[in-house]
Structure 1
Amino acid sequence: MTSKKTYWIALFAILFINCSKPIYSEEKVNPERPNIIYILADDMGVYDLGCYGQQKIKTPNIDKMAAEGMLFTQHYAGSTVCAPSRGTLMTGYHTGHGYVKGNFAMPSEGNLPLPDKTITVAEKLKEAGYKTGIIGKWGLGGPSDEGHPNKQGFDYSFCYLDQRLAHEYYPDHLWWNYEKVMLDREYSHDLFAEESLDFIRKNKANPFFLYLPFTIPHGKYQVPDDEPYSNESWTEKQKNYAAMTTRMDKDIGRIFSLLDSLNLDENTIVFFASDNGGVKEISSFFGSQGPFRGYKTDCYEGGIRSPLIVRWPGKIEAGSKSDHVSAFWDFLPTACDLVGCKAPTEIDGISFLPALLNQDQEQHKLLYWEYFNYNYSWKPGSTNPRNYLLSEAIRVGDWKGVRKNLYKNPDADIELYNLKNDIGEENDVADQYPEIVKELTDLMLSEHNDSEYFKVNQH
C-alpha cells in the first residue's frame, strides 16, 4: 500500500490488538463456488463509460470488462440517492418495502442504521462459508449501532461509515472494523484500492465476497492530479471528475490483473454498477445520462438508471448484452443462486443468474422507487422526523408512472410514459390511457409501507 507511515502504524496497532481473533482465515471451504466482487461507483451516470458510448472520459478497463462479459441495457439503481439505493442492494427489498427509504443523518457520526433483524446479502454469503468484506462507503449505520457493517454480515470492513464524511476524499479518519484510524492527507480512494487488493490476496484460498462501494466520482471533485485531462479546455471540476473516473478504472484493471495472477479469474464473478444517476452540473457536460430525462434526485430514468456489467470468464458469454429489466434488489437472490443458498422468500428481488447464463429468465411484475427528502430538521427525541415523500415511480412492462411534488400536493396525478417508444419521458400520455393510470396508481399505494422514520404525507 502506498500510504503514509501514520496510517500503517495505526492499522498495525489495530491488527495487534485483534490478533487473538484473526480477521482473515486461510481455511479452504469450497473452491468451486465463485468468488463475488461487487464494485459500486457513486453518482456516475450510465453513459460515463466508453462501453455505453462515452467519448470524453477514458475507461479502458471497464470497457474491457464489458467486452469480456455482459452489458445490461435496462438496469436500475435502488433509488435516486445514496443510502436507500445501497439499502436495496444489501437487503433485496425495493424502497417501498425497505427500512431505509431516504438519506437520513444521525446526530452523531453515522446514518440511519439497518435494524439488527435485517437479513443482508453479506449475512447470507457468510452463512454459506464465504469470507465477507466491505471497502469504501457504507452509509447504513454508525460506529456503535446495529447498522455497523460488522454487525450486518461483514467479517471485515474498512470504510467511511457516515456518507456525509465521504464527501471529503482527504478525511481525517476512516473505520477499520470498530477502530477509528486517523489519517494525514491520504487520498481515501487510493487506500481503498490497495486494501481491496490485499483482501483478495489474503482470501485467495477461500470463497469470498468483496463489496467495493467506491466514493468516486461523487463530489467533492478532489483528486491528486487531473491527468490525463490536464490540457483539456474544461473547468477544473470537469477535469477532476473525468480524472477520478479514470483513476477508478485503472484500479479496476489492477483487480483483474491480480485475479489473473492468482489463478482466480475464471472462478470470480465481478459486477460493476452505480448507485444512482449523475449530478446535473457534471452530467450535462459529459452526456452522462444519454437519452434519459433527469438526474440524481429525480425519479425519471436519468435519476434511477444504472450501468451494469458482469464478467465471469467461461460462464458468461463474452461481449454479450442483455435487455433484461433488473434492479439493485435483485443482487441478493442472484448472489444466493450463485453460491447455492436460499434467499429470503418475501423479498422483492428476482435472481438474474439465468439471464447471465443466457437461460430463460423470470421477469418482474413491477419495479418501484421512492424519494424522500433529507432529514435536515430532525432532532433527537423528535416525534416527527420530517422525512416526507417527494416523488415516486413505478414501471410495469414498458409503462412508467411518475408522481412528483408530493409534499406540496400529496394527490398529484401520475405522469405516464411508454418507455418502448419514449425513452426520454418527453410525452405524458396519461390522458390517453386512464385504465393504465388507475392500475399504476393502485400499485403505487400497495407497494409502500410506512417505516418508523419515513411516512407518507406527514407535515
Structure 2
Amino acid sequence: MRQNIVCQFSAILFVGLTAYSTLSPQGYAAHSREKPPNIVLILADDLGYGDIGCFGQQTLQTPRLNDMARQGMRFTQFYAGSTICGPSRSVLLTGKHTGHTAVRGNITEPVAVQPEQLTLSSVLKEAGYATACIGKWGVGTPDNITNPNDIGFDHFFGYVNMWHAHNFYPEFLIRNGHIQQLQNKVGVEWEKWRDSKLPDWGTGVADKRVQYAPDLFVEDALHFIRINRDRPFFLFFSMNVPHANNEVIENGMEVPALDELALKDWPEPEKGFAAMIRNIDRDTGRILDLLKELGIEENTMVVFTSDNGPHEEGGHDPEFFNSNGELRGIKRDLYEGGIRVPTIVRWPSTVDFDSVSDHIGYFGDFVATAADLAGVETPEGLDSISFAPTLKGHPELQKKHEYLYWEYYERGGMQAVRFGNWKAIRQPMHSGTIELFDLSKDTLEEHDSALNHPELVSLAGEYMNNSHEADSNWKIRPSRDD
C-alpha cells in the first residue's frame, strides 16, 4: 500500500476569495488527462527536530502528526534552506541554495524574490495548478505588498513583512495586495521597519484581542481546498507558529487559550509554546480530515516540515522540551539542530505507509520535485533534485546531491556543507577554520575530525568556495537576525 506522493509544497493558499483560484481552461485541459497530484506544503515556523512525537518528543502531544507519519513517510535527514526564516523560504521557492538565492538573510532593506525569477509557485501555476500562499510570507523585505502574487501565487492572505508576522493579533493583514483591517486594537507601535509609503507593519501587544491570525489562516486554507477540489492545486500553508512575538520578552508565546495546559507546573512561556504545538497538530489534522471528506486525499500529497531549528525568544527555552532532540544547535546555528528539520510526506495512493527514508535532501529540492510530479520539465540552472523516486518507492532510481550547502551572514558569517556522511562548518565565512564531523558516528557534532582528514577538509573548502556567488545585497554582519 502506498500514499499519494503529492507531498511537497502544499501550502495553505488563502481561500477567502474565489477569483484567485480560477484556472485557465487551457491550463486545466492540458493536465486533466493524467490529473497530477494536489500539493499541500505545511511549513511550521521555528519548530525543532525534536518537537513532535514521531521525531522523539516525549512530553508534548502530537497525535495527528504521529498518525500522518504512520500513514506516510518520515524523512530523517532532510534540511531547511537556512537557519533563519527569510532565506529558508527563498531557497524553498527558488530551488537555489543560499549561495545563489535572492534572499540570504533577514534585513530591513528592500530585498525580495523578483517577478522575473522562476519560483516553485510559478512552475506549478504554469503547469495548470491553482496556487495559494496563506500565512507568513517572510521572503525578504519586499517594497510592495503584492510580492507573493507577483511571483506565481494566484492568492495570498497573510503577512508580507516578516516582522509584522511576529504579532499574532495584528491590526491588519494583506489579502492579494490589499490591506484587510482586523478587529484587533494595538496600543504600542513598533518602530517602522523602514521609511516607506506602506503602513506601519508594527504593532506590539494588542490591547483588544479578537482575531488570532493563525486561526484565520487555517480557515482560509480549508476554504481554498474546498473551492479547488476539482482541479490541481498547490497550497503553501506557511504558519507563523511556534515563533514568538519577539517584542514581548517575558512571554511572547501568545495563544488564545491554554485550556488544560494552564494547570501544568511549567513556566508561562512553555505553556504557550505547548499550546502552539497542540494547535499546529490540530490544524494539520483539520486539513487531512477535509481532504478525506472531499474524497481527494488519495491524490493529494501533504508535506509537513519546519523552516529552521527551534528558537529561544519570547521567554521560551528550547531545552525545556528538548526541542532539538539529539542534535546540536538551534536557530541561527549551522550545526544540525539549526538546519535539520522534521519532515513528513503523506500521499496515500503513492507513498508507502509507515515508511522511513534517510535520503539526504533539502528545501531547494521542492522545485524539481514539484515539476516532476506536475509532469513538466525541471527548469535548468537550479540547485534542485527531485526526490519523487523516493516518494514513489524507487530509491534505486533516486539521484543524490554531491553536497548540500548553506551560508549565514550573522555573527561574522558562517558556511556549512554536507557531503555523504560528512559535515563541515567554517566560521567566520570564507576565512575561518573548518570543523569536520562524521554524522554516521557523531550526530551531536562533538568530535572535530579535521586533523585526521585533511583531504576532506580541503574538499569541503572547495565546495564552499565554489558555492558562494557574491551579491552586493549581502554583507557579513555582527548583529542578530529576527
TM-score > 0.5, shorter chain as reference: yes
Deviation at 1:303, TM superposition (A): 0.4
SS in 1 for 2:87: helix
SS at match of 2:103: coil
Contact 1:228 1:243 in 2 (8 A): no
Q: Which amino acid aligns with 1:160?
A: Y
Structure 1 residues 198 and 146: alpha-carbon distance in aligned structure 2, compared to 1, 3 A threshold:
closer
Match of 1:385 in 2: none
Name the SS of the counterpart of 1:84 in structure 2.
helix
The residue that corresponds to 2:417 in the other structure is: 394
After superposition, the C-alpha distances for 1:129-166 in whole angstroms (9 at most, x for unaligned) are 00000001112256754970000000000010001010
Paired position in structure 2 for 1:217 = 242
Q: Deviations over 1:41-81 (max 9, x none)?
A: 00010111111111111111111110100000100000000
* SS in structure 2 of the partner of residue 414 of structure 1: strand
Alignment of 1:193-342 (within 5 A): 193-220=218-245, 221-280=253-312, 281-342=316-377
Structure 2 match to 1:367: 404
Amino acid corresponding to residue 424 of structure 1 in structure 2: L
- In structure 2, the partner of 1:413 is 433
Cα 1:311–1:458 change in 2 (3 A) is closer
Distance 1:146 1:157, change over 3 A: closer
| Cα deviations by residue, 1:350-382 (Å, 9 ceiling, x for unpaired) | 000101112121111000001113xxxxxxxxx
Aligned pair 1:447/2:479, yes or no? no
Supply the distance in 2 between the matched residues of 1:404 and 1:95 (Cα, whole angstroms).
16
- Which residue identity lines up with residue 398 of structure 1 in the other structure? N
**Alignment partner, residue 131 of structure 2:** 132
CA distance in 1, matches of 2:324, 2:477: 30
Letter matched to residue 262 of structure 2: S
Equivalent residue letter for 2:306? S
Q: Name 1:25's counterpart in structure 2.
A: 22
Question: Offset of 1:456 from its aligned partner?
Answer: 6.0
CA distance in 2, matches of 1:321, 1:363: 17
Letter in 1 for 2:81: G
Q: Distance in 1 between matches of 2:65 and 2:477?
A: 42
Deviation at 1:392?
1.0
Equivalent position SS for 2:41:
strand
1:104 aligns with 2:139: no
Mean Cα deviation higher: 28-37 or 122-131 = 28-37
Residue identity matched to 1:350: I
User: In the alignment, is the contact (CA less than 8 A) between 2:140 and 2:162 conserved in 1?
Assistant: no
Would the aligned equivalents of 1:330 and 1:352 in 2 still touch at CA under 8 Å? yes
Q: Distance in 2 between matches of 1:250 and 1:309?
A: 16
Which of 161, 165, 190 is 2:215 aligned to? 190
For the aligned residue pairs, the C-alpha RMSD in angstroms reads 2.1
1:197-250 deviation digits (Å, cap 9, x = unpaired):
010011111110000110010002100011332211111110101101111211
**8 Å contact kept, 2:73–2:356:** yes
**C-alpha separation between the residues in 1 aligned to 2:289 and 2:459?**
50
Could you say which structure has the greater relative contact order, defined with CA pairs below 8 angstroms and 6 or more residues apart? 2
Q: Which amino acid aligns with 2:213?
A: S
Q: Which residue of 2 aligns with 1:381?
A: none
Deviations 1:412-445 (A, max 9, x none): 1101111110010000111111111111111111
- Counterpart CA distance in 1 for 2:459 and 2:141 is 40
Q: Does 1:351 align with 2:351?
A: no
Letter of the 1:209 partner, please give it. F
User: Is 1:434 paired with 2:450?
Assistant: no
- Post-superposition shift, 1:458? 11
Tell me, yes or no, if the aligned pair for 1:43 and 1:277 is still in contact at 8 Å.
Answer: yes
SS of the residue aligned with 1:246? Answer: helix
Secondary structure at 1:285's aligned position in 2? coil
| CA contact 1:113–1:146 (8 Å) conserved in 2 | no
- Among all aligned residue pairs of Structure 1 and Structure 2, give the percentage whose two residues are the same amino acid: 43
Tell me the distance in 1 between the aligned counterparts of 2:145 and 2:212. Answer: 28
1:165 matches 2:164: yes
2:199 is matched with which residue? none
Question: Retained in 2: the 8 A contact 1:115–1:147?
Answer: no
When normalised by structure 2's length, the TM-score is: 0.84
Q: 1:113·1:145 contact (CA, 8 Å) conserved in 2?
A: no
Shift of residue 25 of structure 1? Answer: 2.6
The letter for the 2-side match of 1:437 is V
Counterpart in the other structure of 2:120? 121
CA contact under 8 A between 2:45 and 2:306: conserved in structure 1?
A: yes
Range that drifts further, 353-362 or 125-134: 353-362
- State the Cα distance separating 1:112 from its structure 2 match: 2.0
**Which residue of 2 is the match for residue 61 of structure 1?**
64
Secondary structure of 2:317's aligned partner: helix
Residue identity opposite 1:161 in structure 2? V
Question: How far, CA to CA, are the matches of 1:335 and 1:276 in structure 2?
Answer: 21
Offset of residue 115 of structure 1: 2.2
Distance 1:437 1:270, change over 3 A: same
CA contact (8 A) 2:87 2:140 kept: no
1:42 equivalent in structure 2: 45
Matched-pair contact (CA < 8 Å) for 1:259–1:265: yes
SS of residue in 2 equivalent to 1:237: helix
Amino acid at match of 2:454: P
Change (3 A) 1:174 1:146: closer
Shift of 1:389: 5.3
Which has the higher mean CA deviation after the structures are superposed, 146-155 or 308-317? Answer: 146-155
Asked if the contact 2:242/2:273 (under 8 Å) is kept, the reply is yes
The C-alpha deviation readout for 1:61-106, integer Å capped at 9, x for no partner, is 1111101000001000000001000000001001011111111223
SS of residue paired to 1:282: coil
Separation in structure 1 between the aligned mates of residue 90 and residue 162 of structure 2, nearest angstrom: 13
- CA distance in 1 between partners of 2:231 and 2:361 (Å): 29
Q: Structure 2 CA distance, aligned partners of 1:124 and 1:24? A: 16
The corresponding residue for 1:7 is: none
Q: C-alpha separation between the residues in 2 aligned to 1:100 and 1:367?
A: 17
- Contact map agreement 2:79 2:341 (CA 8 A) in 1: yes
- Secondary structure of the 1:48 match is coil
After superposition, the C-alpha distances for 1:249-299 in whole angstroms (9 at most, x for unaligned) are 111111111111111110100000000000144321111111111110000
The counterpart of 1:404, out of the listed 421, 427, 433, is 427
